[in-house]
A and B are shown apart, each in its own frame.
Chain A
Amino acid sequence: GAGVSQSPSNKVTEKGKDVELRCDPISGHTALYWYRQSLGQGLEFLIYFQGNSAPDKSGLPSDRFSAERTGGSVSTLTIQRTQQEDSAVYLCASSFDFSSTGELFFGEGSRLTVL
C-alpha cells in the first residue's frame, strides 16, 4: 500500500482480555518496528523485525507481549491478559532496510484503552 496501515485504530478492552494489533508495512520494506507511545513518556521501542525474524525481543515489557511477522509483510502484536498500564498508542513503522538509513515510515497507531 501507499503507507503503513494499522488496525484497529482504536480498541477498548476489559482488563484480563487478550488483544491483537495488526500492522501492514509499506510494500517492499523489509524492516518493521513496534513502538509504544504513552502520554508524556515519548516513544518506547518494543521490537523490530528484519524479514520474519526478530533479532532482539528485550524491549517487550513483559512475557504477556509477543509479536510475529509472517511472509515478510504483515505483523501482529499480541498482548495477553491486558492490564490498565498497557493503555497507550502502539505505533508501527517500516523501512526499506534499517541498516542503512534509520529513516522510518510510521502508521497512525492503534490506541489501546484497558478498562
Chain B
Amino acid sequence: GNSVTQMEGPVTLSEEAFLTINCTYTATGYPSLFWYVQYPGEGLQLLLKATKADDKGSNKGFEATYRKETTSFHLEKGSVQVSDSAVYFCALYSGGGADGLTFGKGTHLIIQP
C-alpha cells in the first residue's frame, strides 16, 4: 500500500534560518504530492502541490520538488519566520477515491525569535 514518511518533530529553528522538512513516499504509479499546513487552533490548509515528476510547487516562500528517482518531496524555505510555526503534513494522492489519499504523521515546526 501507499505510505508517507516524514521526519519526526518537533523541529526548532531560529528566525531567518533555512528550513528543510524531509518527506519520502511509497506508492504505485505516479501520485500527486502535497504539503498541508496546520496553524495552531486551525484546520489543515493546502500549502503547495506537485502533480508530476520534476514539478516544483511553491507558495508563501516555501518550495518542494517532486523527485521520482528518490521518491521524495522535501519542503524548503530559505528564511523562516515566527509565523511559520505550525504542523506540516506531507501527503500523496494516487487516485481511486479517498483510499488513495495518504498523509504523513506531521512535523511540528517551532520558530524562535
Instruction: Give A residues with C-beta under 8 Å from B.
Output: 4, 31, 33, 40-43, 45, 48, 50, 55-56, 91, 93, 98-99, 101-109
Chain B residues in 8 Å Cβ range of A102 = 32, 34, 91, 93, 95, 100-101
Q: Which residue of B lies closest to A3 (CB)?
A: B43
Q: Give chain A's interface secondary structure class.
A: loop
B42 interfacial by beta-carbon distance below 8 Å? yes
B residues 16-34 with Cβ under 8 Å of A? 32, 34
Chain B residues in 8 Å Cβ range of A33 = 98
CB distance from B96 to the nearest CB of A (A): 8
Instruction: Give B residues with C-beta under 8 Å from A.
Output: 32, 34, 36, 41-46, 49, 89, 91, 93, 95-101, 103-106
- Evaluate contact between A106 and B34: CB separation under 8 angstroms: no
CB distance from A56 to the nearest CB of B (A): 7
Chain A residues in 8 Å Cβ range of B98 = 31, 33, 45, 48, 56, 98
- Evaluate contact between A107 and B97: CB separation under 8 angstroms: no
- Evaluate contact between A103 and B34: CB separation under 8 angstroms: yes
CB distance from B38 to the nearest CB of A (A): 8
Chain A residues in 8 Å Cβ range of B95 = 99, 102
- Evaluate contact between B43 and A91: CB separation under 8 angstroms: yes
- Evaluate contact between B34 and A43: CB separation under 8 angstroms: no
